[in-house]
Structure 1
Amino acid sequence: MRRLIVSLRALIWIVLNFFPLSVAAAGPEPLPRDEIAKLIVPPYALGEDIDDRGVYQLLNSGDAEVGYVFETGPLAPLPGFSGKPINALVLLDKSGIFIDVRLLSQYEPVFVSGLGEAPFREFLAQYPGLSITQSLVVGVPYGAGGGGSDLVYLDGVTKATASVRIAHESILAATLIVARDKMQGLATSTPARADADVNEALSWADLVDQGIARRLSVTNAELDAAFAGTIWASDDPEAKADPEGRYLDLWLIDIGAPSVARAVLSPGTFEEVQRFLEVSPEAEPFLVMDYGRHGLVSDDFVRNTAPDRLSAEQGGFPVALRDADIWVELAPDVPEPETAMILRADRRLGFDPISEWGLKVQAVREHGMFQPQIGDTHFELAYKAPERFYSVPEVHKPLPGWLEAAFNRKADLIALALFLTTLLVLVGPLMHRFAAQRHFTALRLGILCVVIGFIGWWGQGQLSIVTVLAVLRAAVGDGSLSVLLYDPFSLMIWAVSLLGFVLWGRGLFCGWLCPFGAMQELLHHLGKALGLRQREATPLWDRRLKKGKYVALAGLILVAFAAPDYAEKAAEIEPFKTAITVYFRREWIYVVYAVFLLASSMVFFKGFCRYVCPLGAVMAIGGLLRGRDWIARREDCGSPCQLCRVKCRYGAIKKTGEIQYDECFQCFDCVKIHDDPTQCVPLILAAKRQVKEQAKEEEFEA
């Protein structure tokens, strides 16, 4: 996992340094007041504007101010996959309750023409009635959800998790800006950051004496007292049996400052925390230790998610806590706890470590055997990090929350990394041995099945020309590349595909990693097995048709810049969204198109890939970076031997015997022939010459 994070960091460094115009997405201008007024329905009405960022008063039927109206785009312009922010209209009452959240504009490809906007609007419909003071997270509770957890879960949208997470972060960030600024009458200051230049030698005793390590202790008797007079008063026999026993003995330490972290963590864990902070500089880490029987989280808790028994609050607003997924080893002088974990808060949502905040610990009891009634109480610990370890930067530039997306897909990313590493070894150092396997075709088809199932349908890692167009727009300042980081699964495939350009050309992706291409190849084999007559273009038409993909690419680029509102529709020349993203569940015209292309591949080998695919054109152009010819030629290749050219189903071998790497899909058919002394004509002729020479030598010796 460390290597994975380092690789992602390297790729992000390239993005941020080579495309500096793209990293800061400009927010849209607020809509005119009359347009906003039309969206406010009775008994509410739009009041006066409060500032130039599009924040208005919300009035009731008696013209009294009851809340605020604002757009998320101008306040928190987090870019989506289209490079443009998702903009929603929020109605918030003065107590911090969402009255309404309504979609104004979005350009996310999966919602524009894939799933449609209905699932997105259903997602936003979950906000009314919820409070900004609650801990809102996108996802579903694991197991039993921790049984009465303080977290409030918002159901995401299948196949669009990254897009709705971006929308949620934008809504949350914009709402907190308004809430802190207007509801408390003061603007949020820039959060403090740990000063790496401050270095103090501290021990565990020093942390305790100076109040840097703070303790919350609750005995079993105190817990019983909290539940006294309720139906749960007698539902904890262990507390009754040992009143003076420790139910909760919690220590809290902010370990954002290196001096403090060194005092409580082992060298290995300290280095792990520093690496984590390098790739997630907006995070503030906390060490939480419990020496009692509370355990910090429920049995259903899953690492790298929000803790279901711990919550936090600062200035009357919730602090979003999340497990940092770091294994904890403590310094030798720190007493060993029953449970320890490292949590993180996010400065982008306004958390300031040197301002006082409170950690709330939830205690839960159940009453009854069947469908038990759940009751809870809370114990709170106030905390404030020492100011001497921190500095307040003058300029605050938040980075995208890409690391959370990577951690959420950690298992998938590890599996993908293993698969890609194995594939790179097979098609690289072991290429000749792999191609020579007796059951090579079965092995190749098995890999393609994994590509369809795991990379395509499960991982949603089908690369698309939409991403290329977004990168081109970002390169000229129209959009942001940071959106790519919200889909680390696809980003890893892009990284390996780019590496493939240098080593092999286009073949690595087009021949081994494209789920739709894999579908076509599997159906081609099925067509042959069914005895369907195979069709092929003449050499002349083959050359002509291969130019089609470049025409398609040029047309899409033209549309992307000349008529960007139609770019997503034009990109439907790719059937990837239909066949992979939404499992053929969309408007019939798209399904018919995708099915036609797949069905035609049963008799016409991968026609879409060879002649139409604009992404294939990009891959062919990228293949110009190839630094070597990875299939060795012999003197007789092409003259007189034409076997490889005749056998190549892609038409990627010239009459001269040279490989056209911009058309090569790395199927290894020619490698098998090239290495096989029973098929390769030059090898056969060389063997015959050797036999004749040996015969002459034997005759001469006789």
Structure 2
Amino acid sequence: MRSYLHCIQAGRLGGKHGGAWLAAIWIVAATLFLPAMAQPPGPVPPLQGGLLTTIFPGAIQASAMTGSPPAAEVQVEGGFGGYIFSTWSVIHSTGYSGAPIDILVGLSRDGRITGAVLRQHTEPILVIGISDADLKAFVAQFSGLSIRGKISRKAGEAAGRLPDAISGATVSSAVIGDAILTSARLVAESRRLFEAAPTVAPEIPEVKSWQDFIASGAIGHLRLSRGEVAARRGEKLDHDEEEDEHEDDPFIDLYAGVVTPHAIGSPMIGAQTYNRLRAEMAAGDQLFAILANGLYSYKGTRYVRSGVFDRISLVQGALTIPFTRDRYVLIENLAFPDGDIPEFREIGLFILPADSGFDGSLPWRLDLRVDADDANPVVFSLAHTPQASSAIKPAPEPAAEPAPAQTTPTRQPQIPSQPQAHTTVQPPPPPAQIQAEAQLPTAISIEPLWKRAWTTSVPEIIFLTLMLTTLTGILLFQDFIVRKTHAYLIARNIFLAVTLVWLGYIAGGQLSVVNVLTFVHALRQDFRWEYFLVSPIIFILWGYVAVAMLFWGRGVYCGWLCPFGAMQELLNEAARRLKVPQIRVPFGLHERLWPIKYVIFLGLFAISLYSMELAVIASEVEPFKTAIVLKFVRGWPFLFYVVAILVAGLFIERFFCRYFCPLGAALAIPSRLHMFDWLKRRRQCGAECSICAQHCTVQAVHPNGAINPNECVQCLKCQTLYYDDHTCPPLIASRKRAEKLRASGSLIAEKLSEGKK
């Protein structure tokens, strides 16, 4: 026990127990390299019966899902009606946990969502806590939503207004909505639903390798050697033997071309990245790829300040189109098979807006400007004429066809049994009522979900930033702030009240062990920051907590920013004022109870390696969802559990935090590496005085006076006592000695004064 306390006081991972902690960290790290357990959704069930009519009311029959992206053609009375598709098949949709989420969606030929059915998900809040009826009602609200015009999230706008989020599941609701809209947009564009007349998509062979990519005719090539560039710039190389060897070295080896067609772009950068980009692009936008090797960078550095890549420009006829930073997409690697791809120094995609006037089917020229500080710039050009198979050209408008003959009730619509691999015949012109929408945009450019979340949360972000800045100031200047005990305690209670009411109930900023499990789960799968950016408040909080743990340990969150922890402490404060007797757990028993939370966390972590869904259910050991997220609107078993914890907290301050909180355990493990140990102690602490131990919020002060950083919540009560000369015995003794000296000095001065008289 002494060695353990010595490790705590030293603030390092040493000795027997330090080795155990290091072993635990290595075990957690090793699990990141285990294969992920999450399974992608299985095959789409047959689209018939109740499932078919739920997704697409009025549907008679649906074909198999074909094409790229895959979608099933739906027949209704009178002929072709629209499409049904799977969001997983279209964009590999994932939820906030990073696990697959799949929704079957119906899309009419006039660009309206006809219905949606959630097939699979492991969203934490939706696994338990939200009823199936609420979930179905939310998904059903997308029925009738048009993706042709502007879609708004503002209340009070009826046309094109997104459904209201499920109470207590804002992030998951946004994830579902984004999957539906993004997939619908991509299917609509691939089938040309927004064009005024039917078109025939040209046959474009799918590229499967780098050689296919070059042979497709989509890409142009320009190779410049050092000698060629030097000669063009009027420079003379030193013709020694060494320079002759390097004269043919590549100055730049440049590839560029339009990769908008799915058969070209998807194999090049990967289906998931391609589908995400296409869904975010407006109708008519083009994807232009530039890949380069060699000594010279086509990007340069000036674009960082100016926002324009001034070394390259695209020329077509009289048009000169600049490349701008806001339409640049960095690609780390190509998706072609390994061993088949040249190593590129720079890979970039540029989105060319439709209003730029660029036509990917016509010849174009890429100008490369080569400049240096000591030479005049020269321009090299890559001229390219796309092959017919790689360019998308609108087909000539067909002659008007007679109206279809009236079908009898017994006649079944004809479904193509063998759809063409590369040629897609598009539906007939939209019905007359669509013409009323002629003034709407031809398609909606859907902003990424995480960007929408941040732009709509600016007030909350500002307030949270002020709140975190205030807390940082308290921690940095704690030695001065805690000297005014009464003022500090009032300020702390106000801060806790803000944490509970605003951060917990209004902003939804309750962190959970599920966040930790989700992060680890995402690292073992397709990790993308977009998963976590969809909730700005949670993301900012976790970022702050991560930094704060490095400086002060886990107590910054547990003691100041946890809404449920604030609820417990404020209730206990009220209980004390009402003279509710407090129970002080004997330290020997207390020391054997607090490891329970670590066992709970490790158990949840182990379960998550097998099934995130089971881990989410098991994480109900946390009362946060019931008390904070769902605001006590749950079934009586959950309410009974929360009330029992809160009642226990009236007698034992922060009862749940002490013994059962898995989130606190998860934060405590890395917190052992914290840098600062600013909580002051005296040599008399533990030996002559135990006042701090008696007043500690979570009993983190050991009998010998040492503070256990794993349990400390940084409430700073011990520091108010440390500076209180009416409570701390050493300070009391010093104060009394000073008072005696002052009294003696006053008495002597008084006698001297009387003597003079």
Identify the TM-score tier after normalising by the shorter chain. Answer: 0.5 to 0.7
Q: What is residue 334 of structure 2 aligned with on the other side?
A: none
Given the alignment, which residue of 104, 117, 139 partners 1:124? 139
Structure 2 matches for 1:491-640, cutoff 5 A? Answer: 491-640=539-688
Q: What is residue 159 of structure 1 aligned with on the other side?
A: 168
Q: Distance in 1 between matches of 2:96 and 2:688?
A: 52
Q: 1:468 to 1:98 in 2, by over 3 A?
A: same
Question: How far does residue 661 in structure 1 lie from its aligned partner after superposition?
Answer: 1.2
Structure 2 matches for 1:319-334, cutoff 5 A? Answer: none
Structure 2 matches for 1:265-664, cutoff 5 A? Answer: 401-434=449-482, 436-477=484-525, 482-664=530-712
Which whole-Å deviations, capped at 9, do the CAs of 1:28-65 have from their partners, x for residues lacking one?
34524447777224752232332486532323479x55
Q: What is residue 108 of structure 1 aligned with on the other side?
A: 123
Question: How far does residue 92 in structure 1 lie from its aligned partner after superposition?
Answer: 2.4
Q: Distance in 1 between matches of 2:589 and 2:352?
A: 62
Question: How far does residue 685 in structure 1 lie from its aligned partner after superposition?
Answer: 4.0
- Residue type of the partner of 1:174? S
- Residue type of the partner of 1:55? A
Identity %: 30
Q: What is residue 40 of structure 2 aligned with on the other side?
A: 28
Q: Which runs of 5+ in 1 are unaligned?
A: 1-18, 202-209, 213-253, 262-280, 288-313, 316-353, 357-375, 384-397
Which whole-Å deviations, capped at 9, do the CAs of 1:236-292 have from their partners, x for residues lacking one?
xxxxxxxxxxxxxxxxxx99737999xxxxxxxxxxxxxxxxxxx9998999xxxxx
Q: 1:284 to 1:671 in 2, by over 3 A?
A: farther
**Quick check: 1:177 aligned with 2:244?**
no
Q: What is residue 46 of structure 1 aligned with on the other side?
A: 62
Tell me the SS of whatever aligns to 1:543.
Answer: helix
Question: How far does residue 99 in structure 1 lie from its aligned partner after superposition?
Answer: 2.6
- Residue type of the partner of 2:81? V
Given the alignment, which residue of 67, 74, 84 partners 1:58? 74
Q: What is residue 257 of structure 1 aligned with on the other side?
A: 324
Q: 1:635 to 1:604 in 2, by over 3 A?
A: closer
Q: Distance in 2 between matches of 1:119 and 1:473?
A: 27
CA contact (8 A) 2:48 2:61 kept: no
Q: What is residue 363 of structure 1 aligned with on the other side?
A: none
Tell me the SS of whatever aligns to 2:466.
Answer: helix
Q: What is residue 257 of structure 2 aligned with on the other side?
A: none
CA contact (8 A) 1:29 1:74 kept: no
CA contact (8 A) 1:532 1:602 kept: yes
Q: Distance in 2 between matches of 1:485 and 1:414?
A: 16
CA contact (8 A) 1:497 1:508 kept: yes
Given the alignment, which residue of 89, 95, 99 partners 1:80? 95
Q: 1:426 to 1:194 in 2, by over 3 A?
A: farther
Question: How far does residue 595 in structure 1 lie from its aligned partner after superposition?
Answer: 1.6
CA contact (8 A) 1:25 1:479 kept: no
CA contact (8 A) 2:75 2:81 kept: yes
Given the alignment, which residue of 133, 140, 146 partners 2:155? 140
CA contact (8 A) 2:700 2:711 kept: yes
Bigger Cα displacement from structure 2, 417-426 vs 475-484:
475-484
- Residue type of the partner of 2:599? V
Tell me the SS of whatever aligns to 2:486.
Answer: coil
CA contact (8 A) 1:474 1:481 kept: no
- Residue type of the partner of 2:718? C
- Residue type of the partner of 1:404? R
- Residue type of the partner of 1:159? G
Tell me the SS of whatever aligns to 1:100.
Answer: strand
CA contact (8 A) 2:697 2:715 kept: no
CA contact (8 A) 1:256 1:286 kept: no
Bigger Cα displacement from structure 2, 81-90 vs 413-422:
81-90
* TM-score in terms of structure 1 length: 0.64
Q: What is residue 291 of structure 1 aligned with on the other side?
A: none
Q: Distance in 2 between matches of 1:257 and 1:73?
A: 32
Bigger Cα displacement from structure 2, 432-441 vs 483-492:
432-441
Q: 1:282 to 1:489 in 2, by over 3 A?
A: farther
**CA RMSD, aligned part only?**
4.4
CA contact (8 A) 1:138 1:168 kept: no
Q: 1:130 to 1:654 in 2, by over 3 A?
A: closer
Question: How far does residue 520 in structure 1 lie from its aligned partner after superposition?
Answer: 0.5
CA contact (8 A) 1:101 1:128 kept: yes
Q: Distance in 2 between matches of 1:378 and 1:51?
A: 28
Q: Distance in 1 between matches of 2:647 and 2:159?
A: 52
CA contact (8 A) 1:69 1:91 kept: yes
Q: Which runs of 5+ in 2 are unaligned?
A: 1-30, 193-198, 205-259, 266-285, 291-298, 301-307, 312-317, 329-348, 361-391, 395-435, 753-757
Q: Distance in 1 between matches of 2:519 and 2:439?
A: 49
Question: How far does residue 577 in structure 1 lie from its aligned partner after superposition?
Answer: 0.8
CA contact (8 A) 1:465 1:571 kept: yes
Question: How far does residue 590 in structure 1 lie from its aligned partner after superposition?
Answer: 0.9
Q: Distance in 2 between matches of 1:477 and 1:258?
A: 29
**Quick check: 1:68 aligned with 2:83?**
yes
- Residue type of the partner of 1:93? S
Question: How far does residue 128 in structure 1 lie from its aligned partner after superposition?
Answer: 2.7
Which whole-Å deviations, capped at 9, do the CAs of 1:197-245 have from their partners, x for residues lacking one?
67669xxxxxxxx889xxxxxxxxxxxxxxxxxxxxxxxxxxxxxxxxx
Q: What is residue 287 of structure 2 aligned with on the other side?
A: 192
Q: 1:593 to 1:181 in 2, by over 3 A?
A: same
Q: Distance in 2 between matches of 1:580 and 1:419?
A: 19
- Residue type of the partner of 1:133? R
CA contact (8 A) 1:548 1:612 kept: yes
Q: Distance in 2 between matches of 1:180 and 1:21?
A: 39
Q: Distance in 2 between matches of 1:91 and 1:461?
A: 35
Higher relative CO (CA 8 A, sep ≥ 6), structure 1 or 2?
2
- Residue type of the partner of 1:496? Y
Q: What is residue 675 of structure 1 aligned with on the other side?
A: 723
Q: What is residue 295 of structure 1 aligned with on the other side?
A: none
- Residue type of the partner of 1:112? V
Q: Distance in 2 between matches of 1:549 and 1:283?
A: 50
* TM-score in terms of structure 2 length: 0.60
Q: Distance in 2 between matches of 1:255 and 1:478?
A: 33
Q: Distance in 2 between matches of 1:285 and 1:117?
A: 42
Tell me the SS of whatever aligns to 1:517.
Answer: helix
Q: What is residue 227 of structure 1 aligned with on the other side?
A: none
Q: Distance in 2 between matches of 1:258 and 1:97?
A: 34
- Residue type of the partner of 2:92? P
Number of corresponding residues = 515
- Residue type of the partner of 1:583? K
CA contact (8 A) 2:37 2:611 kept: no
Q: 1:412 to 1:696 in 2, by over 3 A?
A: closer
Question: How far does residue 162 in structure 1 lie from its aligned partner after superposition?
Answer: 2.5
Question: How far does residue 519 in structure 1 lie from its aligned partner after superposition?
Answer: 0.5
Q: Distance in 2 between matches of 1:442 and 1:696?
A: 37
Tell me the SS of whatever aligns to 2:64.
Answer: strand
